Amino acid sequence: MASPHPSAAASRYRTLLSPLDLGPLTLRNRIVMGSMHTGLEDHPGDAGRLAAFLGERARGGAGLIVTGGFSPNRSGRLSLDGAQASEHLLRRHPRITQEVHEADGRIVLQLLHAGRYAAQPLAASATAGRSPLSPFRSRRLTRRGVSRTIEQFAASARRAVEAGYDGVEIMGSEGYLLNQFLAPATNRRRDRWGRGAEGRRALPLAVAAAVREAIGPDALLTYRLSLVDLVPGGQTWDETIVLARGLQERGVDVLSSGIGWHEARVPTIVTSVPRGAFVPLTAQLRREVDLPVIASNRLHDPDLAESVVARGDADLVSMARPLLADPHLPRKLAEGRSGQIVACIACNQSCLDKVFDHQRASCLVNPRAAHETELVLTPVVQRRARRVAVVGAGPAGLEAALAAAERGHVVTLFEASQEIGGQLRLAARIPGKEDYALALRSWRMRLASAGVGIRLGTRPSAEDLQEFHDVIVATGVTPRLVDLPGFAPQAEAPAAGPQVVTYQDLLEERAVAGERVAIIGAGGIGVDVAEYLTSPIPSATLDAATWREHWGVLDPSAHRGGVAARRTPPEAPADPPTDGRRAREVHLLQRKETKIGAGLGRTTGWVHRAELRRAGVVQHTGVAYERIDEQGLHLLEDGEERVLDVDTVVLCTGQESVTGLAAELLEARSGRLPRVHVIGGADVAAELDAQRAIRQAVEVAAAL
């Protein structure tokens, strides 16, 4: 990957961008696009879309690409129609490998047997049982079944190489089948495939040996190794190192770090996990084996990635979701454009949450991801460029302005406040969501590079916008108020009774919460506000050691599985917090009778619910609000009247679209007025759905 600015690249990302001999291959840099299932792997008819998705990352400069997981047999599929490395499916894959190779990329196919995680009735594992992730009980693999599984791994690997892949990766981490055989908690066999640590690692070693024989010496063999299982009854560090050395003896070329099982009650990749929290384990592994090692998990920051490789903590860095957000991340680093990288915020809303719901993955900040053939931003010739006004600089407006400008239109962005970001700027103030600010920084840099004119502190009228061909109205939302006695927000605390504020007042620091707080509305915003009011100071996300202690992560060399025994956080703290947490009594209330946080993301909701329990937030469901007066908040709960003696009531009761400008433009429409497009929250105020808003913004810009 040639760089027009080699001196800039050499001075800042010299090690990360340097070539590396890896087994039989030479990689152009140390950046790996780790395995991510997108949903495009499952059906032969999606091979063209998958080729476009992976080819885009190869053109963007990734040194090595690892596909999503393909099962070696039917029982190992993640779902009934999940991906399997069958002859029928892989017959379509030469177009994928050719697309990557034409861009000078290298690609390996990941072989993944789901084991007890398979959400289908053919599930099989080391021991019979059901995982928390599947409705189906897995059967125990017979000894013949184990032997056939080894053969099927080898046959699948051979087919992958025949389809043009540069090699294969064996998934031995994250709690899938091979990991299940390694852990005493899930392998209670008394035959040669169990009965002690040596028997438990026999299957992974046999699979590695069979795959190496099947693909020969000229193909790359990587193994994703669980460095810490984060489940009771997982592996010890000594067992992991013995396994790693055995894999090396059987011809594995590189070890890729895996962290935690999917069922672990410790978050490993969500945005509240500190950056590089698990790098010390990768560094320790690298000292124990004579193989290249790939670091992974929360390595989104290129500066951090460079330091990890430069220090010798790892030989390569896996940047899976960052390359989902920006397929051209490596190229931008090489060209000295690191500030223009589309920042992944590790929200999981459009990627992992979608996959676990059996939908096609994408990316909140890059809706074109895995939709490259459908959502196309075609450049316009200069004579067809339109003058475009975008009003509102929240996520929808920012992305609409950028997408339109990148197509070649002349764009002016108006924002009534003095800062861009809208509701996303507020979200970045929630402890654990600090990385959301990276997205705003990225938008600023990219808007400037695209030549978008930005007018802050400006609220244009319909008359002001007549000179434009198109006006994209992205004026966002305003907090919805409650029409009950005493619920009107107050600028100052009253002489008696609680002060009523909106979540926006609180997060923009126009109001300060007292020691006893009631939060009305327990959707995503209400949960965020509860964490904002109760989280440790400073945020545990900003210090890896504090975070590990917070979540009970232990040294796997001293504690099997690397995690403390499961604890049940108290519903209310018995004593004032001693860990820096803000000492407040917080009540979180909702009208629905469902569990609070039930509508949060599949991969992140449980983290937020655990934090609420740990902080002692008092949760109320099925309540009816009556009034607020000098006594406090009056409500009905379980059919009985109750008064909460609080000094602050925070309204998180939803949002309403800000539609004034759109109505003004549409009402004044005439032949000479611009075309009007309403997007984001101004179109639908739906619980701050940034995913929908940003995709809608790109779709509108693509159609201009």
Q: Is 176 a catalytic residue?
A: yes
The DSSP symbol for 68 reads: E
Give the 3-state secondary structure of residue 306: helix
Give the 3-state secondary structure of residue 51: helix
Q: Are 355 and 30 in contact (CB under 8 A)?
A: no
- CA distances from residue 28 to 60, 70, 113, 338, 444 in whole angstroms, order as listed: 12, 26, 30, 18, 30
Of 117, 165, 176, 503, which one is the catalytic site residue? Answer: 176
Q: Are 240 and 248 in contact (CB under 8 A)?
A: no
Q: Are 345 and 438 in contact (CB under 8 A)?
A: yes
Give the 3-state secondary structure of residue 576: coil
Question: Quick one: which of 215, 166, 198, 202 has its CA closest to 62?
Answer: 166
Instruction: Give me the amino acid identity at 536.
Output: P
Helix (H) or strand (E) holding 90: helix 87-90
Instruction: Give me the amino acid identity at 425.
Output: R
Q: Look-up: residue for tokens 């109001």? A: 511
* Edge-to-edge order in the sheet of strand 632-637: 624-629, 632-637, 640-644
CA distance 70 to 470: 46
Region of 261 on the Ramachandran plot (φ > 0 left; ψ -120 to 50 alpha; else beta): beta
CA distance 465 to 392: 13
Question: 3-state secondary structure string, 675-703?
Answer: EEEECHHHCCCCCCCHHHHHHHHHHHHHH
User: H helices then E strands: how many in the chain?
Assistant: 23, 27
Q: Look-up: residue for tokens 């956080």? A: 569
Q: Residue 139 forms beta bridges with which residues?
A: 124
Q: Look-up: residue for tokens 């917080």? A: 586
CA distance 72 to 87: 11
Please give the full DSSP string across 347-358, using - where no structure is assigned.
--TTTHHHHHTT
Residues belonging to the active site: 176
